[in-house]
Amino acid sequence: MDPYVRIRIGHNVYETHTDYNGAKNPHWNKLFHCFLSPGVTTFLVEIYDECAFTVNEKIAWAHVVVPEAVFSGQTVDIWHPLSGRQGEGKEGNINLVLSYQAIPPGSLAAPPVVLVNTPYMMPGVVQYPAAAGYVYPPYTVPVARPGMVAATPGYNPALQPAAQQPPPVPITENDVKQVQEMFPEMDAEVVKGVLETHRGNKDAAVNALLSMNDANA
């Protein structure tokens, strides 16, 4: 058996690589950075057997409800039963370690995010060693009102000196790697290009890539 894991959080899908001949004891060791939309409190874990000549077979799954304690800032370690051909909750268990951390308003204008570590299986069970989450509180967008901008008599934009173009910000491989970990399906060159467009601002780059994902969904 050549198993891999697929995780569905909101409208996003994340997959591990296949552990060939992993059978009941595969190891993936892959970290997922997953954005969680407001109001989403559950996610789906699916385990597939990769088949060479037929459609990949789903062999186990679990609908996981994020415990309330996680949203209070606690780290929660639970075992969740897996379902499959043998019946509801009869395909072993998955070990989940979930945590959630609030980020100060304005630090990143984006929906909440959940980081999910790679699951791995042991004989008869599936373990999910660590899942961490970062949640960004709601934010407001300033709205311009009359009187907020002062007008200067005689001001002529055409007479103002042209603003100098700031020099490009160098983008390192580490910068690209950090952002690409959140978007494993994105090509590194695409991630680098978005970072260059936003002058190395990782928060703005993440927002842009999220918009690209939503547009392609």
**Residue scoring higher pLDDT (183 or 4):** 4
Report yes or no: 89 and 61 within 8 Å, Cβ to Cβ.
no
pLDDT tens, residue by residue, 39-75:
888 889 898 999 988 899 999 999 989 889 988 888 8
Strand pairing class (93-102; 12-15): unpaired
Which pTM does this prediction carry? Answer: 0.49
pLDDT tens, residue by residue, 195-205:
888 788 888 88
Domains of the chain plus CATH, in order, are: 2-98 (2.60.40.150), 173-215 (1.10.8.10)
**Does pLDDT of 130 surpass 60?**
no
